[in-house]
Amino acid sequence: MSANQEFYIQSLLKGDPKGLRQIYQEFLPRIRKLITTKGGSEQDAQDIFQNALILLYEKAQKPGFKLTSNFYTLLYGVSWNLWGNRLQKKSFKEVSIPENVKYSTDDDIQMDMERSEEQALFWEAFKELGEDCQRLMRLFFEKVKMEEIAEKMGYASVGYAKKRKFQCKEKLVGLVKEDVRFEELQRSK
Amino acid sequence: MQKEELYDKIEKYLAGELSGNELSSFEQLLEKDNSLKAELELHRKLSKELGNPKKNLLNDQLFNLREEFTIKEESVKTETPIRSINWKRNLSIAATFLLLASAFWYFLNKENPTEEIFAEDPIIKVDPIDSVIDKEAINPERIVEQEPKEDPKINETPLATPQEEIREEIVQQEPKEEIPKTDPKPVYNFDNNADFEGMIAANASEKAFKFNVEIPTASATLASKDGQTPVQIGGLLTAPELQEGEQMLAHFFKNTSKTLDPENAIGKLNLRLKKEEEDEDVFAFAGKVNYFFNAFKIINVEPGLYYYTISKKGGEQEGIKYTGKFKVSTSE
């Protein structure tokens, strides 16, 4: 593989701003075209593109991962399958995508896709929280002690930090559960 | 239990901070209460996913880039028309389909005139039938296995017998161009065209016209003789019943072609469709009909990677119904 292909993967793994921007510049238009010509909106295209990148990131993180293909080929395949999966969800039980649309790799790609949809849902809900809640929840999820959280957030007491943490989490859980995709994901289990 | 108390319990349980009576009574509750189980599971997943610092970093950037790269104008959301297909029925069709395909393959092997023509000197090298053709075609990892390496010699997959000498000759006949050392151009171009690979991957999206192309297989390498390469395209098409006289047409393209538009094609081939008459009942559903097609042509091309498209004859504006590829290699 050329150094360039490896560069994209490394950018994903390191969260390198320059590399990530390059990935968007080079590949988003093509994936956008794919999704929008298959009945998706700009929003859908952005969703799929982002999810596909996250999925590739996860794949690349696994020990023993080796980029054996062109980065774009991989991205295209993953995007296509994510979109097919979504279309299938939209139509609920009426299967509209033939089985052979899904490419099956060594690992269970369907599981990967479900997980990636779920993760995207979590992140979108998270991004809907206020700045304050996002910071607080981030610290909480990273298992920072409540005392330290109170201090970092500039709260007067640990009690208030706990109260605030509950409010933020309630909001987050509510946002996740409200999302139609959440129900769909539960159903598909 | 109040929500706040519930969250607290769940978090403590996940953190392994419950013990004794508290733990056992919570576990008892869990066992009885499926909604509690679901709630616990959600909290666990949220904590795992959102508590991943690397994911945080990556997602922050992706959300920012997304903001920046989103086309702002209110794009008209087109609802995808989703055909409702009875899946059970579809499965039984698929099974019959496979049967027919194998029967067809047998028929091809047995009666195909091209096979007879080349009976003594089989220059068409076709891989054995593989029911996962479609999967192969859309599996990027698999596609990549065929991806050419830098050295053109390695790429020219030798057929039955290695043709080292001949290849040397041909290489020498090629006009030697002055090329910068940093960018050595292969004599023959076997490079995948990313956009066309995308088209192959998108084959399965065409729901109205379902092609099962048996020949050439996704990894076929066709042998050329004196610069002439016999190409055969054969398989099964399941489609809405076609009008009298409607036919399919294949176009061939170089991998270096800019687009798959017919004007860029280096050749074309009529695919005469033969309607499958038997078992009409089985295929009557949804107005779909099975057509066999099998066409043959000798094309005059240099070794390399070629793509082909199948579209309705005279209906190119309707779009490409299928995209495939094959390699052409040298042989005696």
According to the model, what pLDDT value does residue B45 have? 94
Q: Which of B79, B134, B147 sits opposite A100 (nearest CB)?
A: B134
Q: State the best of A12, A53, A76 to mutate against chain B, taking most chain B CBs within 10 Å.
A: A76
For residue B40, the number of C-alpha atoms closer than 13 Å in the C-beta half-sphere is: 16
According to the model, what pLDDT value does residue B12 have? 93
* Annotated domain spans of chain A: 1-119, 129-189
Give residue-wise pLDDT tens across range B103-153. 555 555 554 444 333 333 334 444 443 333 333 344 444 433 344 444 444
Q: Within 10 A of B264 (CB to CB), how many other CB atoms are there? A: 13
Q: CA-nearest residue of chain A to B198?
A: A76
According to the model, what pLDDT value does residue A137 have? 96
Mean pLDDT along residues A179-183: 85
Give the mean pLDDT of chain A.
84
According to the model, what pLDDT value does residue B287 have? 63
Q: CA-nearest residue of chain A to B46?
A: A122
For residue B245, the number of C-alpha atoms closer than 13 Å in the C-beta half-sphere is: 1
Could you give the CA distance from residue B233 to residue B214 in angstroms, rounded to a whole number?
A: 8
Q: CA-nearest residue of chain A to B6?
A: A166
Q: Which of B3, B135, B205 sits opposite A38 (nearest CB)?
A: B205
The CA radius of gyration of chain B, in Å to the nearest whole number, is 28
Q: Which of B59, B94, B96, B108 is nearest to B217 (CA)?
A: B108
Q: Which of A34, A76, A166 sits opposite B140 (nearest CB)?
A: A76
Q: Which of residues 150-189 of A touch B (CB under 8 A)?
A: 166, 169-170, 172-173, 176-177, 186
Q: Does A183 or B226 have the greater pLDDT score? A: A183
According to the model, what pLDDT value does residue A81 have? 83
Measured between beta carbons, the chain A residues lying within 8 angstroms of B61 are 15, 17, 20
According to the model, what pLDDT value does residue A144 have? 93
Mean pLDDT along residues A89-117: 55
Q: Within 10 A of B212 (CB to CB), how many other CB atoms are there? A: 20
Q: Which of B167, B178, B217, B188 is nearest to B326 (CA)?
A: B217
3-state helix, strand, coil in chain B (%, to 5): 40, 20, 35
For residue B275, the number of C-alpha atoms closer than 13 Å in the C-beta half-sphere is: 17
Measured between beta carbons, the chain B residues lying within 8 angstroms of A169 are 7
According to the model, what pLDDT value does residue B111 have? 46
Could you give the CA distance from residue B280 to residue B278 in angstroms, rounded to a whole number?
A: 5
Measured between beta carbons, the chain A residues lying within 8 angstroms of B305 are none
Could you give the CA distance from residue A29 to residue A36 in angstroms, rounded to a whole number?
A: 10
Q: CA-nearest residue of chain B to A67?
A: B141
* pLDDT at residue A112 greater than cutoff 90: no
> What pLDDT tens digit does each residue of chain B (332 aa) get?
789 999 999 999 999 999 999 999 999 999 999 999 999 999 999 999 999 888 888 998 999 999 889 887 554 444 444 444 444 455 555 555 555 555 555 555 554 444 333 333 334 444 443 333 333 344 444 433 344 444 444 444 444 444 444 444 444 444 444 544 554 545 788 888 888 888 888 777 766 787 877 677 767 777 777 777 778 787 778 788 777 777 888 999 998 888 888 888 888 888 877 776 544 444 444 567 777 777 777 788 888 899 999 888 877 677 788 889 888 887 54
Shortest distance between the Cα of A67 and any Cα of chain B, in A, equals: 9
According to the model, what pLDDT value does residue B83 have? 44
According to the model, what pLDDT value does residue B46 have? 95
Pairing label, strands B288-300, B228-240: antiparallel
- Contact flag A94-B85 (C-beta cutoff 8 Å): yes
Q: State the best of B69, B84, B98 to mutate against chain A, taking most chain A CBs within 10 Å.
A: B69
Shortest distance between the Cα of B224 and any Cα of chain A, in A, equals: 28
Residue that has been written with the tokens 């004196």 in this structure: B226
Could you give the CA distance from residue A111 to residue A116 in angstroms, rounded to a whole number?
A: 8
ipTM score for this prediction: 0.85
The rounded Cα B332 to chain-centroid distance in angstroms is 31
Q: Does A3 or A64 have the greater pLDDT score? A: A64
In a 3-state reduction of DSSP, which class is residue B10? helix
Shortest distance between the Cα of B1 and any Cα of chain A, in A, equals: 15
